[in-house]
Structure 1
Amino acid sequence: MSQETSVITPPGGRRMTPRDVTESLRAATPLELLFDLCFVVAVAQSAAGLHHALASGHVGDGLLSYAMTFFAIWWAWMNFSWFASAYDTDDVPYRIAALVQITGALILAAGIPRAFEHRDFTIAVLGYVVMRTALVANWLRAAAADPEGRGTALRYAAGITAVEAAWVVMLTLPSGIRLWAWLLLACADVSVPVWAERRHRTAWHPHHIAERHGLFTLIVLGESILAATLAVQGAVDTEQATADLYGVAGGGLLIVFSMWWLYFAKPAHRFLTSNRAAFLWGYGHYLVLGSAAAVGAGLSAAVDGATGHFHGGAVARGAVVTVPVAVFLLTVWWLQHRPHQVSRSHKVLVPGAAALVLAATFVPMPALATGAVLAALVAVAVLIARREGAAAGHG
């Protein structure tokens, strides 16, 4: 009962002091789950833009717009989640700041179609600025309440504000140099935490951080299933169902189920013991989450290919699925599996499967072949883990 009451009526205001890094049973809050669900709207818009670009044959422009818009979504989500891990007071000002950041995410989502169609990032940048401004307010609260971490909090606030202003200035630059400015500002944005935490680490919680990334990965995988399901439904409703279409549907399920299995096969919190390890792991999730969402876009484009609405050759129809799946496999292997010092067989198993997935680009039903490769990978990984576990038990 007390927990339910606290969800409805939070304290009016607290000192924003650091959370205990050894706190037991640290779990995601209802506000964080709402944050994820609202952010996935922006993910869905970005993936939908990529789907339409792939299906219409504008692969280069689509990938570039997708990389740029997904960066804004991912980086804003990252900053909120890591701040919450260290300073979540769950009081009224904190909740209002989180809701403002959600509002910014929805503004960003509304601007994504313009970014894809016209390279107009005005609305997207506006949403990004709204999100970042609320985060700066939180860092200033932390600076006022946490004497030990004040320098770090002020560096965060100053760095975010400076880069945020630069994003607005970028909109005024000629289109010819805007891409280079975007690359420079993206590098500056991701450098702020490295600079801010040089002398004092914020009190992020390893279990909480691992859970937050896992939950968001789950939601993104769910969005991929939804996108592919809607595409299949549209084809069936128009009586365009073919063997290729059912191959995409079956292969898509095997792909997403296997991606879930492989991501959660190894616990991440065990090796999140330093800023260096945690930052590399967190930054690597740009590829994990981006490729997971791109799989949904690729499966939707594959449905277009199965129903004759894809503007591209057979290789392109396969690559829209196999390439993001291979990126996901290799990134998850590098971030989640390799740090556990797995056996030699594990070290070659996932990269070998990624190579087979890329080879599936050239077979007649690439989505189904990719799903079969991933299902076999999961089965072999389970057998190896059981054999190694039995050997360790006997030892």
Structure 2
Amino acid sequence: MAGRERSRMVAAEGDHKVTPAELFFDLVFVYAITQVTALMAAAPSPGRVLAAMTVLALLWWCWCCFAWLGNVVRADAGALFAVLVTVMTVVFVVSLVVPEVFADAPGGLPAPLVFVLCYGAVRLLHLISYWISSPGDTALHATLRRTALLSVGPPLALLLVGCAYDGTPRLLMWLGAVAIDYGGIYLTGASGWRVNSPGHFAERHGLIVIIALGESIVAMGVGVAHFPLTGAVIGACAAGILLAAGLWALYFRRFGEPAEHRLGALDGDERTRFARDVYTFLHLPLVAGVVLCALGMKKVLTQVADTGHYDLADSLHGTVAWALTGGVGVFLLGAAAITRRSTGRRPVALLVGGVCGLAAGPLVELVPALAALALLAAAVLALVVALGRRTASGAAGAAGPEESPAA
């Protein structure tokens, strides 16, 4: 009986919380996100950024698959833990080849093919595990069949075909695969999928945002590796930490909590659709924005530390100049979309901030790199304070004169 208990899937309850097994599972994605930044940093260009975002979108799908599964099946009990360890191994192999998926190095296995085969293995493991988890759920099984036909089979075939080409043709085919994959999930609908524990689901996605922010800090450390510590380096590190703290505060103090409350207030297919839109789709821009910003932060720290090749008056240029503020812009636009979907309000400050971040690349080239990072951190922190005051005044107005503390 003990053997049967270990081999079956164990259902998660409605008050399910994130388990240590899921935190362990996330560790491999720390490295995966770091490798996406490395893919861009090796040869920064608009095409390389687009290629990196394509890879990130595929990796994001691998993570999301098991975030959904872990909400209905316990990751720390039964057979799912063995599946997670297997997926960790496969994703780690994927991460190893990420820097070479669009510029395969000579020798060894073909990196693009290894990436695609491992990605396909993760998607198939997810579908099989989901099928086994609910043997009598006909609605879920019908949805899984539609998912395999629309969102797994065609994209995987296109990814495999893309491996036979180099450069732009491969990138276009892989972009097409991502579009089909995401569109297929949307077309399969909400029927069959379930979100048993809103708290667990929101916490899982909050943790992946923290992982992305952690990668931005790691990127700064990599940027100053093998260079002497100076006062300017310390100042740049402080500015980078403040920028990461500002993005953290925006998520966890401003728009993450309303999204979780809205998720908990819904049920059935409405809850599933909201989870798909806000967490599966709209959290990707948050992670992508942090990864883009990490590229800019890494280059700032490198220029500040490498006094033999750069002066403190030197600025960022080209793609990395845009990435520094553009990443924050992508993050803010994702936050605006989440706020709109969660509350129905139009988040003007987030929208304006996002557009300004996307357009500020040319301005970054006009000021020293360290000053650009410090000004960006100050702007994000100012936005956090402004949104906090607006929230507080809105809450006081909603309370009315009889309920307000002043009364």
TM-score (normalizing by structure 1): 0.83
Whether contact under 8 Å (1:139, 1:157) holds in the other structure is: no
Pick from 379, 382, 401: which aligns with 1:376? 382
Q: Which aligned pairs between 1:99-138 and structure 2 lie closer than 5 A?
A: 99-118=85-104, 120-138=111-129
Q: Which aligned pairs between 1:79-98 and structure 2 lie closer than 5 A?
A: 79-88=65-74, 90-98=76-84
Shift of 1:65: 2.4
Q: Taking structure 1 as reference, are residues 392 and 305 closer, same or farther at Cα in structure 2, changes over 3 Å only? A: same
- The DSSP-based 3-state class of the residue aligned with 1:174 is coil
User: Which stretch shows the higher mean deviation, 112-121 or 127-136?
Assistant: 112-121
Pick from 275, 278, 285: which aligns with 1:278? 275
Shift of 1:313: 6.5
Shift of 1:246: 4.6
- The DSSP-based 3-state class of the residue aligned with 1:37 is helix
Q: Taking structure 1 as reference, are residues 106 and 172 closer, same or farther at Cα in structure 2, changes over 3 Å only? A: closer
Does structure 1 residue 391 correspond to structure 2 residue 397? yes
Shift of 1:172: 4.9
Other-structure match for 1:3: none
Paired letter, 2:273: R
Does structure 1 residue 257 correspond to structure 2 residue 245? yes
Q: Which aligned pairs between 1:305-320 and structure 2 lie closer than 5 A?
A: 305-306=303-304, 307=306, 314-316=316-318, 318-320=321-323
Other-structure match for 2:296: 298
Whether contact under 8 Å (1:53, 1:62) holds in the other structure is: yes
Does structure 1 residue 217 correspond to structure 2 residue 206? no
Whether contact under 8 Å (1:142, 1:150) holds in the other structure is: no
Other-structure match for 1:328: 331
Q: Deviations over 1:56-86 (max 9, x none)?
A: xxx1232022112211211100111112213
Shift of 1:16: 6.2
Paired letter, 2:197: H
Q: Which aligned pairs between 1:171-182 and structure 2 lie closer than 5 A?
A: 171-175=162-166, 177-182=169-174
- The DSSP-based 3-state class of the residue aligned with 1:255 is helix
Does structure 1 residue 226 correspond to structure 2 residue 239? no
- What is the Cα-based RMSD across aligned positions, in Å? 3.0
Other-structure match for 2:404: none
| Separation in structure 2 between the aligned mates of residue 74 and residue 127 of structure 1, nearest angstrom | 14
- The DSSP-based 3-state class of the residue aligned with 1:118 is coil
Q: Which aligned pairs between 1:137-152 and structure 2 lie closer than 5 A?
A: 137-142=128-133, 144-152=135-143
- The DSSP-based 3-state class of the residue aligned with 2:79 is helix
Does structure 1 residue 12 correspond to structure 2 residue 41? no
Shift of 1:129: 2.3
| Separation in structure 2 between the aligned mates of residue 271 and residue 96 of structure 1, nearest angstrom | 33
Pick from 210, 221, 227: which aligns with 1:235? 227
| Separation in structure 2 between the aligned mates of residue 198 and residue 211 of structure 1, nearest angstrom | 21
Pick from 65, 77, 83: which aligns with 2:63? 77
Q: Taking structure 1 as reference, are residues 383 and 174 closer, same or farther at Cα in structure 2, changes over 3 Å only? A: closer
Q: Which has the higher contact order (CA 8 A, sep 6+)?
A: 1
Paired letter, 1:79: C
Q: Taking structure 1 as reference, are residues 300 and 203 closer, same or farther at Cα in structure 2, changes over 3 Å only? A: closer
Whether contact under 8 Å (2:240, 2:297) holds in the other structure is: yes
Identity score, percent: 23
Report the number of matched residues: 372
Whether contact under 8 Å (1:110, 1:124) holds in the other structure is: no
Other-structure match for 2:28: 38
Q: Taking structure 1 as reference, are residues 167 and 111 closer, same or farther at Cα in structure 2, changes over 3 Å only? A: farther
Whether contact under 8 Å (2:22, 2:75) holds in the other structure is: no
- The DSSP-based 3-state class of the residue aligned with 2:7 is coil
| Separation in structure 1 between the aligned mates of residue 234 and residue 69 of structure 2, nearest angstrom | 44
TM-score (normalizing by structure 2): 0.81
- The DSSP-based 3-state class of the residue aligned with 2:85 is helix
Other-structure match for 2:108: none
| Separation in structure 2 between the aligned mates of residue 194 and residue 233 of structure 1, nearest angstrom | 43
Paired letter, 2:81: R
Shift of 1:332: 1.2
Whether contact under 8 Å (2:94, 2:114) holds in the other structure is: yes
Q: Deviations over 1:194-222 (max 9, x none)?
A: 34345434345332221111011011101
Q: Deviations over 1:265-315 (max 9, x none)?
A: 2312233342433322121222111111222221011223333668x9644
Shift of 1:165: 4.5
Structure 2 residue ranges without an equivalent (≥5): 106-110, 402-407
